[in-house]
Amino acid sequence: MLGSCARALHTTYDTALLDLDGVVYAGGEAVGHAVESLARARAAGMRLAYVTNNAARTPLTVADHLTRLGVPAEAGEVVTSAQAVARMIAEDVGVGARVLCVGGEGLRVALAERGLAVVESADDAPDVVVQGYGGPELPWGRLAEAALAVGRGARWYASNTDLTIPSGRGIAPGNGAAVEVVRIATRWMREAPEPRVAGKPLPPMHRESILRTGAERPLVVGDRLDTDIEGAVNGGVDSLLVLTGVTDGAQLLAAPPGRRPTYVAEDLRGLLEAHGAATESDGGWRCGGWLARVADGELELSGGGERVEALRALCAAAWSAADTAPGVRGGVPCSEKALARVGL
């Protein structure tokens, strides 16, 4: 079930570990209510950190972008998957290791900060190949160099394996797609290699965030179940899902246990609110003025009130049904009518 919090989240947790795209901004512009909500949370004493799987930009570039949007940020408040994978390589292979970098400036800077020597070719005898998102201009030849080096025995790392990345024109291939190219090109090897991956939802990214922020009571804030929320579950910390990005109501209701957030909110105003629990009542689950129940494999919603309270009641009903009667419609009650009633 979704958790409850009698006090506002920004006074309960000491640090918000915020995803960026779909949470703070979308298409380069600030998401509605993000600027003022983050300002109020910071003013009340909550520390803010911006945690992104995108390895292309440096923390300074990301911080400058946030500041231009009205969210004052410093480079030290930005944590990237490039930093996480650079730490992994330095710890695994050692400072001074020769690294063939297939990615953008953010990855190159992170490697240099860890004392790793960036090389350009498979012929430079790299100890390591590392892949990070390099933008749409990444030359095909860089992937060829990566495949050649892995084929010759270099250790293989990736900042993250997100197959797609949002762009102003739609969904574009992400770093995971580039990783797949190298995987396909090295299938001839007797023991097919697999990269070590740092980014969300895997533990190295969460570890990097905690090491850099010193958070003692962190709250992960994101819009994706498969990276942000799963990463929080893997890290053993609480999470807030906001509905300003890729996850919609139907996906949330169908979430398996490892991808269920602690809290859910329409947007970052949820940081400033207390979160009421859904409680069992009248054969269903009640939150605020809403009652959600499952009948004949379909979610039913009655009552009225705030839309997010309806969603919390629906989550309780859907997840309870999926966990206790997994044979019903593959474990997920049909939710279209119930969600349509509240415009989700």
Tens digit of each residue's pLDDT (9 = 90 or more) over 99-114 = 999 999 999 999 999 9
Marked catalytic residue, from 21, 127, 162, 238: 21
- What was the pLDDT predicted at 318? 95
Nearest to 299 by CA among 329, 257, 266, 279: 329
327 pLDDT more than 90? no
Token pair 């390589």 is found at: 89
DSSP characters for 238-254? EEEEETTSS--HHHHHT
212 pLDDT more than 90? yes
Domain 9-53+201-272: state its class. alpha beta
- What was the pLDDT predicted at 165? 84
32 pLDDT more than 50? yes
DSSP state at residue 298:
E
pLDDT single digits (tens) 71-88: 999 999 999 999 999 999
| β strands within 98-206, DSSP E | 98-102, 117-119, 128-131, 155-158, 164-167, 170-173, 196-197
pLDDT band of 328, cuts 50, 70, 90: very low
Domain chopping of the chain, boundaries:
9-53+201-272, 92-197, 279-341
Query: How far, in Å, CA of 239 to CA of 260, rounded?
Result: 9
pLDDT band of 331, cuts 50, 70, 90: low
- What was the pLDDT predicted at 325? 65
Task: State the average pLDDT over residues 266-295.
Answer: 95
92-197 and 9-53+201-272 share a CATH fold: yes
Task: State the average pLDDT over residues 111-119.
Answer: 98
Active site residue 92: no
Residue type, 80: T
Decide: helix, strand or coil at residue 262: coil
Nearest to 20 by CA among 255, 290, 223: 223
97 pLDDT more than 70? yes
> Residue 113 contacts by C-beta under 8 Å, 6 or more apart in sequence?
83, 86
8 A C-beta contact, residue 148 and residue 140: no
8 A C-beta contact, residue 314 and residue 232: no
Nearest to 18 by CA among 172, 179, 242, 233: 242
DSSP state at residue 227:
I
Residue type, 91: E
8 A C-beta contact, residue 264 and residue 311: yes
8 A C-beta contact, residue 259 and residue 233: yes
Distances (CA, A) of 177 to 21, 30, 100, 173, 183: 19, 27, 18, 6, 10
Residue 75: how many other CB atoms lie within 10 Å: 12
8 A C-beta contact, residue 224 and residue 248: no
Nearest to 145 by CA among 164, 158, 131, 162: 131
Task: State the average pLDDT over residues 145-170.
Answer: 92
Nearest to 110 by CA among 89, 135, 138, 92: 89
334 pLDDT more than 90? no
8 A C-beta contact, residue 16 and residue 47: yes
- What was the pLDDT predicted at 184? 96
8 A C-beta contact, residue 10 and residue 273: no
H/E run at residue 326: none
The domain made up of 92-197 has a fold known as Rossmann fold (3.40.50)
Active site residue 123: no
What's the token pair of residue 53? 């799987």
Marked catalytic residue, from 14, 19, 127, 296: 19
- The distance from CA 156 to its chain's CA centroid, rounded to whole angstroms, is 22
326 pLDDT more than 60? no
Decide: helix, strand or coil at residue 69: coil
Task: State the average pLDDT over residues 320-334.
Answer: 71
